Amino acid sequence: MLSEKILEALNEQINAEFYSAYLYLAMSAYFEAKNLKGFANWMRVQAQEETTHAMRIYDYVVERGGRVKLMVIEQPPAEWSSPLEAFEAAYNHEVKITGMINKLVNLAMEEKDHATYNMLQWFVAEQVEEEASTDEIVQKLKMLGKDSRGILMIDRELAQRVFSPAEEVK
């Protein structure tokens, strides 16, 4: 059984993961409007990943006998001044989510909830990958500046990303 503190924090994290999906869908729509289909694809795949993250926690709460409480999902921004600004926002968002996961880990330790602590280790490792993948694109975009040919090359690269739900199975 989950403590009330853990249950409340996990429900907040479910909301944060669904917000992440909304944010990345908003970024995908922004890139679609700019005719950057590869960038749009990358963000759409990211949104799918975030939904599976939310559902991973959802399933854990249910498995532990807790009650999932879905909350209002805040409307994300819809415009960015450039692909670089959008990816910097994505990177900063992932850093924020890492902080939230770390707080959850600390709470699980305080509450001596070893099962939740163990479940969260997957998210700790996942956030390392999330920050690294967004930062890699930020760094490439910084190198390019406003070189439209380079942007189109990255667009083609990002178009190759595919969603692999098998990676998300617990």
pLDDT digits (tens, 9 = 90+) for 81-115: 999 999 999 999 999 999 999 999 999 999 999 99
Element (H, E) at 12: helix 4-33
Looking at residue 138, its pLDDT comes to 98
Structure token digits, residue 70: 């879905």
Q: 122 pLDDT exceeds 90?
A: yes
Q: How many CB atoms lie within 10 A of CB 32?
A: 15
Q: How many CB atoms lie within 10 A of CB 153?
A: 14
Mean pLDDT value across the chain: 95
Q: 147 pLDDT exceeds 90?
A: no
Residue 165 pLDDT grade (very low, low, confident, very high; cuts 50, 70, 90): confident
How many angstroms separate the CA atoms of 99 and 88, rounded?
17
CATH of domain 4-162: 1.20.1260.10
Structure token digits, residue 162: 């595919």
Percent of the chain with pLDDT strictly greater than 90: 93
The pTM of this model reads 0.94
Per domain, the residue ranges of the chain are 4-162
Looking at residue 167, its pLDDT comes to 52
Residue 146 pLDDT grade (very low, low, confident, very high; cuts 50, 70, 90): confident
